[in-house]
Amino acid sequence: MFIEPRVGTGPSGIARRGWIEVVCGSMFSGKTEELIRRLKRAEIARQRVEIFKPALDTRYHAEDVVSHNQNSIRSTPVPVAQEILLLATNCDVVGIDEAQFFDESLVEVCVQLANRGTRVIVAGLDMDFLGQPFGPMPALMAVAEFVTKVHAICVRCGELASYSFRVTAAEDKILLGETDAYEARCRVCFQEGLKGKKERGGMSE
């Protein structure tokens, strides 16, 4: 489990310093639950917390980061990452959910937030349904002080799962709100699934 290096400013009043944390993994790995856990602890420490997510993710409620177990925290949808810089001016901690859907400019936004003293916690899918690094996530993992990879359980064999296997034949990179269309799978079962799809002609490659 991740233990914060520090949370509040403490009684010494020494100016706080920013840093970046990344929580990544496949679908059903508990990324959002972990993001919410860290943010709730910061709230208990009387930190000013704000959560942002890409406006294109409209699953469930527009205003909430909602994890699949309904343990939610209110959040603000933003159309572009730069908007976070303007909206987060008075925050001690900024949470960003579904970060894989932002473009590469999110990396610079997170760096700027951390440089000005904000703790930034970014949660997102590290790989897409083909097992490729997803959007800004690999670069965020590189510039972060702390990276936590959480795992799901493979629904085929019960091993630890790192991959999001798409059960349907759809080939769009973004298939929103369609959690039924995915299974968490381990490396072996993910590869077997891809092979099966190619053999059935379900993929263009």
Q: Is 29 annotated as a binding residue?
A: yes
Candidate segments 16-24, 27-35, 136-144, 181-189, binder of Zn ion by CB under 5 A? 181-189
Catalytic residue among 50, 98, 104, 199: 98
* Among positions 49, 94, 154, 184, the unique one binding Zn ion when judged by CB under 5 A: 154
Q: Is 157 annotated as a binding residue?
A: yes
* Catalytic (active site) residue 178: no
By CB under 5 A, residue 159 contacts Zn ion:
yes
**String marking each residue 18-57 x if it binds Zn ion according to CB under 5 A:** ----------------------------------------
Q: Provide the pairing of β-strand 73-74 with 64-65.
A: antiparallel
* Of 101 and 190, CB closest to Zn ion: 190
Size of the site for Zn ion (CB under 5 A): 6
Which parts are annotated binding residues? 25-32, 97-100, 154, 157, 174-177, 182, 186, 189
Active site residues: 98
Which residue ranges make up the site for Zn ion (CB under 5 A)?
A: 154, 156-157, 159, 186, 189
